[in-house]
Amino acid sequence: MQVIYADVYFIVNFSMDFLALFIACKIRKIPLRLWRTAFAAAVGSLYAVISLTFNGAENILTFLLAAAIPFLMCYIAYGGGRAKYYLINVASFWIISFVMGGMMTAIYYFVGKLLSSREIYINGTSYTLYSDIPFWIFIAAAFACALFTVIWNRLAAKKSGVHEVSFFMEDGAVSINEVAMCDSGNLLREPLSGLPVIILSNELMEKVAPGIETLKEGLNYRKIRIIPYNTLSGSGILYGYIPDCVKINNDIKKACLCSGKDIGKTFDGYNVIIPTSLL
């Protein structure tokens, strides 16, 4: 009879789930929310422990439950957003989990081979079995995963020199969910209300307010604002737009949106530039 300790099983799964969520977060350029990521890993680990009580039973319910857990974990760790964005996040987490699962299987075999072995005889033939990896190995692996996560996160932040935040905007039927770059040099404000200005790429601005620069018919003119600007290359005006809802790291904010093409803003791979005054 095989004995599986629930606490050890939970720790192992938590460590691997947390690391997989973290790696997917970095690959997808999603701002790391430590407590949400830890909670998502705990949910996955708790399910893994509970699934031991299924005793190998396979039916449509257990299959659907197992398939739904990664979706729930990614929603907790990364949030929702557009369907395509959300599904890519889940797919990234799935692929990374499969790769890490294969790696852990190999590590389990070779570490067990080095640390513990015993011989049994069946019909006069000797067989060597490798098993019983000590508990401290799993504790060390969990600690190594946590240490790796912290070090990688800090090195990545220093290397990029960029502070990332999550940006969500909703206006009627239009919604945008992006990873945004913070820029302390973005000092633009809407002159009447004093609202800070969030700069969008041309494609996103066209999605939010199509034809705003030509004041295309059908736009909600009550939401359009005129924003003067001055740069080293000259001065002019921008057409801004105030959406129904803006969230920065899930905190509701008041802001005006505009396109950055006329002021020569570079996005460095981002589609949104957030002024640090909104943090």
Q: What is the pLDDT of residues 7-49, one digit of tens each?
A: 667 777 887 888 888 888 777 767 677 888 889 989 988 888 8
Sheet containing strand 245-248, edge to edge, reads 224-231, 234-241, 256-259, 197-200, 272-275, 174-183, 164-171, 245-248, 251-253
The model carries a pTM of: 0.47
Domains of the chain from N-terminus onward:
6-160 (no CATH), 164-278 (2.40.70)
Strands (DSSP E) contained in the chain are 117-122, 125-130, 164-171, 174-183, 197-200, 224-231, 234-241, 245-248, 251-253, 256-259, 272-275
Mean pLDDT across 174-203: 86
User: What is the pLDDT confidence band of residue 104, given thresholds at 50, 70 and 90?
Assistant: low
Query: Residue written as tokens 């990614």?
Result: 74
Mean pLDDT across 213-232: 79
Q: How far apart are CA 277 and CA 28, in angstroms?
A: 25
Q: How far apart are CA 92 and CA 25, in angstroms?
A: 9
- At 245 the pLDDT is 92
Mean pLDDT across 44-73: 78
User: What is the pLDDT confidence band of residue 168, given thresholds at 50, 70 and 90?
Assistant: very high
- At 156 the pLDDT is 57
Output the CA–CA distances (angstroms, integers) from residue 116 to 1, 119, 131, in the order listed.
19, 11, 6
Burial of 24 (0-12, 13-18, 19+ CB in 10 A): buried
